[in-house]
Structure 1
Amino acid sequence: MSIKNKKNVSIALVAVLLLLVIIGGWFFWNQQTEKESKEKMINERIVTTTVPMTQIFAKLDIPLVGVPTTNEKLPAKKQNLPHVGNHVSVEMEKIISLKPDRVYVDSELTEDYAGKLKEQGIKMSSLNFSDYPAMRKTITEIGNKYSRQKQAKNLNQQLKIKNVQRKKKPKVLLLMGMPGGSFLVMNKDTYLGDLVTRAGGQIVAADQKSMMTPVDNEKIAQADPDVIIRLAHAMPQQVQKSFNESFKSMPYPNLTAVREKQVHDVQAPKFSPTANLHVKEAYQEVKEWLDDSQEN
């Protein structure tokens, strides 16, 4: 090999080595940056504003600095943390005093928090608990974000429910009672409606396009449900009293569900308008009610 060729080979080798060093350095830098980003994410000062998300963060072993104010029992490791109110009574000053990096809110309640958090330069992230599949997806997303993939996978595995196939689907009316005496009809796209559908039931007297609508007594009478589930959104004793009073009037006394004693009153924490970690218990009860209705 000539001196010139040897020189060219040497130059080529140096160039290759230099390229490898550059690639290796970039790869190392990228890995370090990603690692630092994940560590920073894990060390975020986080505030949760609903019970279901607080339960999930506890299950995934993600630290919090603030939790919602509630009458429900919070996970033991989160009970003594500062309470920051809830969507009915937001304690914004308390949230700000905790100097959070991020505040998590339910996707249906962002308007209660967005403006003031933005004014303070606090990041807000919304989480979707609208139904069972949405909650499972949310669990996966939280696990990915905070390097808790294994815990998230295990939790989702624990929450698996099996759909029921029935030759004849029991007709189910879903009502949500509000403090003050009014109540709404829920459709199949609500959390509870999805559970009923999975259990082999058919939601009746509801608007297919709107998740919740005012009661239409004529539609209820025509549907004649086999099962009625009455959910108290808040103040369960007061709501149940209102339900009982309303059910003395037509068309309720003539409905199959009322005559066959297939009216079930439910409330938090097991049942709620949005998905939560009590889903398997709630689903089991719904299946049993539908089974009972078909035995009569």
Structure 2
Amino acid sequence: MKSPRRTALIVIIMLLVVGIVGGFFAHHQLAKNRHHERIVATTYAVVQIADRLKLPLVGVPNTENKLPARYKNVTKVGSPMNPSAEKIASVKPTAVYSVTTLKEQFGKSFKQQHIKPYFLNLQSVSDLQRVVTKMGNQYDRKAAARGANREIDHAILKARKRANGQKKPRVLVLMGLPGAGYMIATNRSYVGNLVQLAGGKNVFASKDQEYIQPSDEAIQKARPQVILRLEHAMPQMVTEQFNSEFKSQSFWHQTPAVKSKRVYDLQEPDFDATANMHAAKALGEVSQWLYPRGK
């Protein structure tokens, strides 16, 4: 007859073996599930995040931007503003990602195809970092996510040092709209957030609005010292619109920014309406524009 002590030892060993084997199979199953992830990115910003985390994609947006080599032959699912529910459904996705600012673009056709997109909040640099961390955890890319966020943290620290002890410049941010003029981007917009991180003062602040209607009188009164012109869609057309606007409207000539030639054009891929993986580089550029004689 076996002693109680020996019996207990045998039971413990068996439990350990079962635990190890169970853990192995659980890990194997998790890895298998991740291997079968079929992810669709409907915006270029999401494509950038996926590329940085080395995630496989089965669907990417139609874009004029150069797609990473790993996604060269991936199915195009339409423009970010008007993605095709039929094309997305055809690749049998397990996850479809867009951004919160385009949520209204996903209408009835997606419900009919039984597609429920995930909308990522990329309205600020900190929002971007939270998304990168979350996706890194979800898809077992934690090391890559930490590396990406460290680059951004370093850029923020560098921008703060550059602005330290200096008087904040007054900054006006404009977002050009192809064929429809422009809007004013407030501190709640992504570029407005870059201005804030770089140590500038956005002359148009808001509690909840990213963009507001322009007012010639308000712009004149604000007397911006730096003007940033975002040309994220059809940049050539928007640049021509801005140049024509600044030439034909005499009030622009009276702004300190135009007088001192501190008007800068922001274009993709470094700049966009939403935060992206070029955030560190974009912040560095804005920092230098705001503080050309920085520390």
TM-score category, normalised to shorter length: 0.7 to 0.9
Contact 1:38 1:147 in 2 (8 A): no
What aligned pairs does 1:133-212 form with structure 2 within 5 A after superposition? 133-159=126-152, 160-161=154-155, 162=157, 163-164=159-160, 165-212=164-211
Q: Contact between 2:171 and 2:224, CA under 8 Å: does it hold in 1?
A: yes
* Aligned-residue offset at 1:18: 5.8
> For the structure 1 residues 139 and 175, does the alpha-carbon distance in structure 2 shift closer, same or farther, using more than 3 Å as the test?
same
Residue in 2 that maps onto 1:131: 124
Tell me how many residue pairs correspond in the alignment.
287
Cα shift at 1:177: 0.9
What is the aligned partner in structure 1 of residue 39 from structure 2?
A: 46
CA contact (8 A) 2:86 2:113 kept: no
1:70 to 2:63 alignment: yes
The whole-number CA distance in structure 1 between the counterparts of 2:261 and 2:180 is 22
Q: Percent identity among equivalent residues?
A: 35
Task: Check whether the contact 2:95–2:118 (CA below 8 A) recurs between aligned residues.
Answer: yes
Unmatched 5+ stretches in structure 2: none
Mean CA deviation greater in 124-133 or 22-31: 22-31
Q: Which letter maps to 2:175? A: M
Secondary structure (helix, strand or coil) at the match of 2:145 reads helix
Q: Which has the higher contact order (CA 8 A, sep 6+)?
A: 2
Equivalent residues of 2:81, 2:102 under 8 A apart: no
- Conserved 8 A contact 1:206-1:213: no
* Structure 1: segments with no counterpart, 5+ residues: 1-5
Quick one: which of 76, 82, 88 aligns to 1:83?
Answer: 76
Q: Is residue 2:218 matched to residue 1:214? A: no
1:49-108 CA-to-partner distances (Å, cap 9, x unmatched) read: 111211221222211111111000111111121111122232222111111111111122
Deviation readout 1:150-170 (Å, 9 max, x if unpaired): 121122223331232243101
1:239 aligns with 2:238: yes
Q: What is the alpha-carbon root mean square deviation over aligned residues? A: 2.6
Task: State how far apart, in whole Å, the 1-side matches of 2:205 and 2:211 are.
Answer: 8
Structure showing greater Rg: 1
* Residue equivalent to 1:3: none
Partner of 2:253: 253
TM normalised by structure 1 equals 0.86
The 2-side partners of 1:27 and 1:113 are apart by 45
1:134 alignment partner, SS class = helix
Which piece of structure 1 moves more, 193-202 or 103-112?
Answer: 103-112
Q: 2:244 is matched by which residue type in structure 1?
A: E
1:110-161 per-residue CA deviation (whole Å, 9 max, x = no partner) reads 3323643343333422222211111111111111111111121122223331
Amino acid at match of 1:278: H
The residue that corresponds to 1:36 in the other structure is: 29
Secondary structure of the structure 2 residue equivalent to 1:66: strand
